Chains A and B, each alone.
Chain A
Amino acid sequence: MNAPGGLGPGWQDALRQDWIAVPAREILDPVAGYFTAHGFNPMTSAEGSAFAVYARLFKHGMSQALMLPAAGGDTLLHLSYYLHRLRQEAMQDVIRAPWLNYHCMRERPHLVVLTRPLIRHHQLARESDLHTTILRSSTPAALLSAARLATLLVGSDADPAAALQLIASRTRPFAFVIDATPSGVGEGACALLAALAEQFPDVPRVTLAALGDPVVTAGLAQCKAAGHLWHARLGDAMPVNAASSPPSQFVIAAVADPITNASLASAFAAVQTLREACQHEPAPLRATQLPPLSKVLNQLRSVFVPLAALEEQLTRDTRPGRFPILSLHRWLDKTASATFQYGVTHAAHAAAVAAVRLTYDQMLIAVTGREQALLALLDQCCAKRGRVGILVGTQIEVCLLQAVLDRHVECSLHDQIVLQAMDCGRINALGATRFQHILVMGTLWPSRLHWLGLDSERMTVVCYPFEQSSTERQVQRWWMQHGAPSPAHGDKKRFWQLDCSEHRLLDAAVALLQSPPVSTSQLAHVGVHPKGGKAVEILAPDRHEDWMAYLMAPPDEASAETEADASPQDPYVVWVHTEEHAQPIAWPRSRTALVLQAEEIVARLPEQLVPGDEIIMLVNNEERIATQASLFELFVAESTGLDQFVQIADKWQGLIDTARVKLKTLKALRAKFKAGGVDVTDQTVRNWVQHQVIGPLDGKAIQVLTQYLELKSPDKLASHIHRAIEKVRAQRRAIGRDMTAAILERRAGADTVSIGKMKLNVDALDGMVEVCRVLQIVLPPLVPQPVNDTLADVVARIMTLHPGRLWFTSAATRSLAQCQFKDAAHFGDCLALMATQLHDMYFQKISRIDEVLKAFTNKQVSFAPKMAATTQGRFDVYQRLYHGKRVDIGKHFRLGANYDPTRTMRIHFHVDESDQLVVIHHAGVHLPTNAD
């Protein structure tokens, strides 16, 4: 393809012609299957071309950022492997280039990868040639010697400066890989790159990012330290040995469902009005009041299962923390009580809440068109017998969808349907095979857009009519940047001709050839609405001209109070002290740990552990103590095929959970099994419910459940699950055997051990698993101790908890000593609020008095700003001396309203500006009043 004007071949042809000059090209060839032979995903042709070009720049010590489609999977492994290979060739003098040459590489054996180490370690450790280790200050020096090549994973979340310091002091890097994919450091990449460029100006930096991840891409374009940019666009037919497959066709499918559509649209319009009205309100108020509402609305807009089922799941998964999970109902309740400073906002808020609540109520009893459409689309896909991917928003939705599949789809077809949560930070397990069809059921926020880069024949984005045009625009815009082919004579060719050593090239241009392959379609599913309901066409008012754009804006994350760590008092946690670790390890009471006993590994509940037991621990896992499942995941799950079996076997756990919820008691569950001809003990059923085993030994038990839950072709599904369980069980046993053997061999001084299909050297084994000797087990009492505090104890506790906020005068201490008030907890609540919210209100001015008083009211404490004038005049107890000044102690809190001194208490105080204290002058019986 010679271009006019004597420009010579385009970049793809040039690459094809000169492929022979690419070093170590045999591993880049997707067809040669270098990686598949080792049990990994094959190198994709997009990766192959990008790495080949980078090799050219790398030789000369240049940096580049590579945006690759769906850069999740094994891309990082491929890149690390290739870079090590290039270094090795330089060490053998096969490459002699300014950076890649024997003299330079001899001194630099380390590839430093900045990523989320815990997630990536398992992935990279599978390739033993990479010698992957997580770099810590405690990493043994032997692993970092100059004679030994190593891939060092460094995390930078906690303290980037410390991470850099660690790199500078412990490593000698020949290249930095910055993993800016969603499973890596993401947006944090730019700051890291700049710091690396400053501290290690010579060492090339190669950044890996997901194609079309707008935030990261924009950041990298701004960041000079990232070097050149390379976008492996979907339309770029890859030059080397790739079966040229046409890029995806995108279909934006709108589900008719006029009733849901109308109510969602009007709710969105109402929320948008509120958003505008909120402009006058102070920022903290906006930040706390708007997001919950948007969250509920966005969830309603994308829900594809019965709303009731979603609510049930959310209720079950409810957890507090910085990013809490709550049911939609609770979010709505939370936001309903909001107060605003302006009347306009208040009215808009009321309208918005009402509109969202109306939509919620409607959808709760309806079968939405979206739900119907999903099933219809699934049927269509299954009829074609191709590989289908379904992209949903969160992991919770994946669980719900799995249940839908069990009910509606023939079990033999489950293998070809892959579910993926778009917000999942873990490495995706989608594999590298092209999808025939991908259904996008979640909303495409900017942070999720990179999923559009998945390789498929057809990608259907399901939405409601009111959001169709904005979704279409969104996808079109994305395609114009990341889907359209790159120009033949653009920056890509300049890279290949090394015409880039003086200027930074951003590879931003695309060939303006074709219109985007984005089309729209209508799905006729109207849903089932028992109450009827009206479909009203909502016309957005003029001032909302671009309110549709807001539909595609990323949601603000609703956050709540900060997450509390596991406390030593938590009755559900066991603390395991070991010889090897100074810090005790928290472990759920109900999960078994693996203990090395003689020559086998046995599972034990933590309560059954005794000092001297040797437990197996995972070195680089968030959950430190190994379970059978986690060991299994570490060593076997990657062997292709078994993944599927694990997924299918896991269905048993879902079945037993659902049945348990439906039947309510274990007894009923056992009876159900007995009726089905499966006679089991209570203990067995309990084990099943607590997920202690992979599955029942008797396949009939599965059948009982599939029949009871009325799943599709229950007998077939049951035998399918049973087979999978058998297979997984057998594999787990094999791993257990291998593991024991490996640990014993390691102790005997072996150099290499083999586990499953993996051959590991002992360093790699040490990097994954360690054996620790138990010193002590601390079991917090199961039931929290009844609080038998006296009032003085309460004061002492609050004063130590919130030092420097409250002050008890000697008179107050005297009054407290004589006080007969019995409800110490009630008194404690009041004092705690005084030390926190009240103090904050007075001295940090961050909240208003009515909000603070509301908190007191919630704890059944009322406030009186002053005594009646007559009372105050009559009794001088309301005037006290404090630091030589007369102060008024009329302000008081009232606990109980009874003349019985055991049930009534008054706390009088004054606020001292100079000491910044809430000074308590009286805490005890009711002081005399005019009525006395």
Chain B
Amino acid sequence: MVGSKAEVEEKLNQAIHNIDFDDPLGGHAIVTDANQGHHLSPLTYRDEKILINGTSAQARERHERENLYSVAILAGSEALGLDIERLKLALPALGTYELHNSTKRLPYDVKHIPDLVSKGLGGFRTWLDGFLTLRSATGATPLMLLVPLEGAMPIAMMLDLIDIAHELVPPAGKLKNCVRVVFLLSPKALWNWLRHPNLTLEREKLQTFIEVDRWGKTALSHLLSQLGLSTGPNEILRLMQASQGWHFSLLQLLQASAKQPKARGIQELTTFLPFEEFKPKRLQEFANKTGLMDLDWAPELLLSLERTGRFDIGEIEIILQDLQEQYNIDPTQAPAVLRWLERLRLVDPIVSTRGPAFNAPTSYQVNPSVALAVKDVLRIGSTA
């Protein structure tokens, strides 16, 4: 390699970084239905694997019985793809990438519990118990039960629901086919979860907890090839810049591609727009779906952070001090706030390409698409 010592080091680090990102398990399942429509799974193959087998450390340690019953939590926003109706279409394919393991497995039957709050704990138990009894008698198809946890739910109820799901674990050998109970934490519920770290932090280690992420380069490349579009490095980079990996944006790509089936590359898709070109209404919709509108203090916080540029937890604390008069938020909750922003992928960690890669990020910046959305909803986009 040619260049100064620093430049060579930089290039090598970049190369290692790229290898890390060339990650087959980072791909997402894409289901093609009878009408040739595509449905995108918000979960990477890695997530699916964890969802089915639990975290590997736990599984190894316990020599667990055949894992036909599992309880998992998925946290994320609609913009990341956590939307009941879309999940119902995308999740049946769960685990099929490993078909050599269970070649004859039928697709998952995905159900969700409607109106959980009014059903209460008793209703939930009856509902779940009903399925388990049924699946103990006949094991037609594997079953996935989605339980959306709403933001208004007290933390005790959320924990109770999860505990009940664990309590109902059927005796070994009783189930005829898999049953997966998946709790979906909406952005508001996630905040409720995070602001009680002493009740929840340990629980994340004790059971499957998946944070849905934006799509990575590998996944985007798969998607492009699935849509029959060119998958050169420039195209991938362009798609990454335009969509920022948001599920929300990729849905638009699907629509655009359906309209122009003959297009060869994404630059030919005229209806697929990057965030900068979104109309206010569309940005508003995006902002709503990211969850940043669910907590009253979040937009202002994000705006301040965006103005700061690069920030760390100290800045969040300072901004929260200003906000606490107006909103019900305590500066001591800054760690929870940061985790919330990070888990909803509203802010990006600044990963240094220098030095050891496993260092936890200490500084962040607001995701550019989120910055646009925040400015729009706070109606300062036009004056800026």
Residues of A bordering B, CB below 8 Å = 17-18, 20-21, 23, 56, 59-60, 89, 93-99, 101-103, 496-499, 501-502
Query: Residues of A contacting B155 with CB < 8 Å?
Result: 497-498
**Known A20-B164, A98-B203, A496-B156: A60·B198 in contact at CB below 8 Å:** yes
B125 engages A93 (CB within 8 Å)? no
A20, A23, A94, A103: which contacts B125 (Cβ < 8 A)? A20
B199 engages A60 (CB within 8 Å)? yes
C-alpha spacing A18/B164, complex, angstroms = 11
A97 engages B169 (CB within 8 Å)? no
Map CB proximity to A onto B151-179 as digits: 1 under 8 Å, 0 otherwise: 00011110110011011010000000000
Closest residue of chain B to A494, judged by CB? B156
A20 engages B122 (CB within 8 Å)? yes
**Known A60-B198, A498-B199: A95·B167 in contact at CB below 8 Å:** yes
B121, CB-defined interface residue at 8 Å: yes
**Chain A to chain B: the 4 pairs with minimum beta-carbon distance, closest first:** A98-B202, A21-B160, A498-B156, A497-B156
**Known A20-B121, A20-B125: A96·B207 in contact at CB below 8 Å:** yes
A101 engages B206 (CB within 8 Å)? yes
Closest residue of chain A to B200, judged by CB? A98
C-alpha spacing A499/B166, complex, angstroms = 22
Closest residue of chain A to B123, judged by CB? A20
Would you give the shortest CB distance from A29 to chain B, in whole angstroms? 15
C-alpha spacing A743/B292, complex, angstroms = 73
A18, A89, A93, A97: which contacts B203 (Cβ < 8 A)? A97
Closest residue of chain B to A89, judged by CB? B167
Query: Which label, helix, strand, loop or mixed, suits the secondary structure of the B interface?
Result: helix
**Known A94-B167, A498-B159: A17·B120 in contact at CB below 8 Å:** yes
Closest residue of chain B to A501, judged by CB? B198
**Known A20-B121, A20-B164, A498-B156: A96·B206 in contact at CB below 8 Å:** yes
B62, CB-defined interface residue at 8 Å: yes
Would you give the shortest CB distance from A495 to chain B, in whole angstroms? 9
Map CB proximity to A onto B170-211 as digits: 1 under 8 Å, 0 otherwise: 000000000000000000000000001011011100110000
C-alpha spacing A60/B154, complex, angstroms = 16
Query: Residues of A contacting B201 with CB < 8 Å?
Result: 98
Would you give the shortest CB distance from B169 to chain A, in whole angstroms? 6
Query: A96-B166, A96-B206, A499-B156 known; 14 other A-B pairs, CB under 8 Å?
Result: A18-B157, A20-B164, A60-B198, A93-B166, A94-B166, A94-B167, A95-B167, A96-B163, A97-B159, A496-B156, A497-B155, A498-B156, A498-B199, A501-B199
B166 engages A95 (CB within 8 Å)? yes
Q: Which of B112-127 contact A (CB under 8 A)?
A: 120-122, 125
C-alpha spacing A525/B213, complex, angstroms = 85
C-alpha spacing A89/B163, complex, angstroms = 12
C-alpha spacing A712/B199, complex, angstroms = 65
Q: Please, could you name 17 A-B residue pairs with CB atoms under 8 Å apart, sorted by A?
A: A21-B164, A56-B156, A93-B166, A93-B169, A94-B166, A95-B166, A95-B167, A97-B163, A98-B198, A98-B202, A98-B206, A496-B156, A497-B155, A498-B156, A498-B196, A498-B199, A501-B198
Would you give the shortest CB distance from A450 to chain B, in whole angstroms? 31
C-alpha spacing A294/B155, complex, angstroms = 57
C-alpha spacing A95/B165, complex, angstroms = 10
A501 engages B122 (CB within 8 Å)? no
Would you give the shortest CB distance from A725 to chain B, in whole angstroms? 52
Closest residue of chain A to B198, judged by CB? A501
A23 engages B206 (CB within 8 Å)? no
Query: Residues of A contacting B62 with CB < 8 Å?
Result: 102
A95, A496, A497, A502: which contacts B163 (Cβ < 8 A)? A95
Query: Residues of B contacting A98 with CB < 8 Å?
Result: 198-199, 201-203, 206
Query: Residues of B contacting A96 with CB < 8 Å?
Result: 163, 166, 203, 206-207
Closest residue of chain A to B158, judged by CB? A498
Would you give the shortest CB distance from A227 to chain B, in whole angstroms? 13
C-alpha spacing A59/B164, complex, angstroms = 13
Closest residue of chain B to A8, judged by CB? B154
Query: Residues of B contacting A18 with CB < 8 Å?
Result: 120-121, 156-157, 160
B199 engages A21 (CB within 8 Å)? no
Q: Which of B44-65 contact A (CB under 8 A)?
A: 61-62
B169 engages A94 (CB within 8 Å)? yes
Residue from B121, B156, B157, B203 whose CB has the most chain A CB atoms within 10 Å: B156
Query: Residues of B contacting A60 with CB < 8 Å?
Result: 198-199
Residue from A56, A93, A95, A99 whose CB has the most chain B CB atoms within 10 Å: A93
Query: Residues of A contacting B160 with CB < 8 Å?
Result: 18, 21
C-alpha spacing A94/B163, complex, angstroms = 8
Closest residue of chain A to B157, judged by CB? A18
C-alpha spacing A93/B207, complex, angstroms = 11
Query: Residues of A contacting B207 with CB < 8 Å?
Result: 96
B167 engages A23 (CB within 8 Å)? yes
Would you give the shortest CB distance from B312 to chain A, in whole angstroms? 25
Would you give the shortest CB distance from A590 to chain B, in whole angstroms? 59
C-alpha spacing A21/B125, complex, angstroms = 9
Residue from A98, A103, A501 whose CB has the most chain B CB atoms within 10 Å: A98
Query: Residues of A contacting B167 with CB < 8 Å?
Result: 23, 89, 94-95
Query: Residues of A contacting B163 with CB < 8 Å?
Result: 21, 23, 59, 95-97
C-alpha spacing A98/B198, complex, angstroms = 9
Would you give the shortest CB distance from A295 to chain B, in whole angstroms? 52
Would you give the shortest CB distance from B15 to chain A, in whole angstroms? 40
Query: Residues of B contacting A93 with CB < 8 Å?
Result: 166, 169
Would you give the shortest CB distance from B209 to chain A, in whole angstroms? 12
C-alpha spacing A870/B153, complex, angstroms = 105
Closest residue of chain A to B124, judged by CB? A20
Would you give the shortest CB distance from A202 to chain B, in whole angstroms? 12
A97 engages B206 (CB within 8 Å)? yes
Would you give the shortest CB distance from A261 to chain B, in whole angstroms? 56
C-alpha spacing A60/B167, complex, angstroms = 16
Query: Residues of B contacting A99 with CB < 8 Å?
Result: 202
Query: Residues of A contacting B125 with CB < 8 Å?
Result: 20
Query: Residues of A contacting B154 with CB < 8 Å?
Result: 497
Query: Residues of A contacting B159 with CB < 8 Å?
Result: 97, 498
C-alpha spacing A502/B198, complex, angstroms = 9
Query: Residues of B contacting A497 with CB < 8 Å?
Result: 154-156
Query: Residues of B contacting A496 with CB < 8 Å?
Result: 156
Residue from B122, B154, B164, B167 whose CB has the most chain A CB atoms within 10 Å: B167
Would you give the shortest CB distance from B157 to chain A, in whole angstroms? 8
Query: Residues of A contacting B202 with CB < 8 Å?
Result: 97-99, 101
**Known A93-B169, A98-B203: A501·B196 in contact at CB below 8 Å:** yes
Closest residue of chain B to A498, judged by CB? B156
Residue from A21, A23, A98 whose CB has the most chain B CB atoms within 10 Å: A21
Query: Residues of B contacting A97 with CB < 8 Å?
Result: 159, 163, 202-203, 206
Query: Residues of A contacting B169 with CB < 8 Å?
Result: 93-94
Map CB proximity to A onto B126-169 as digits: 1 under 8 Å, 0 otherwise: 00000000000000000000000000001111011001101101
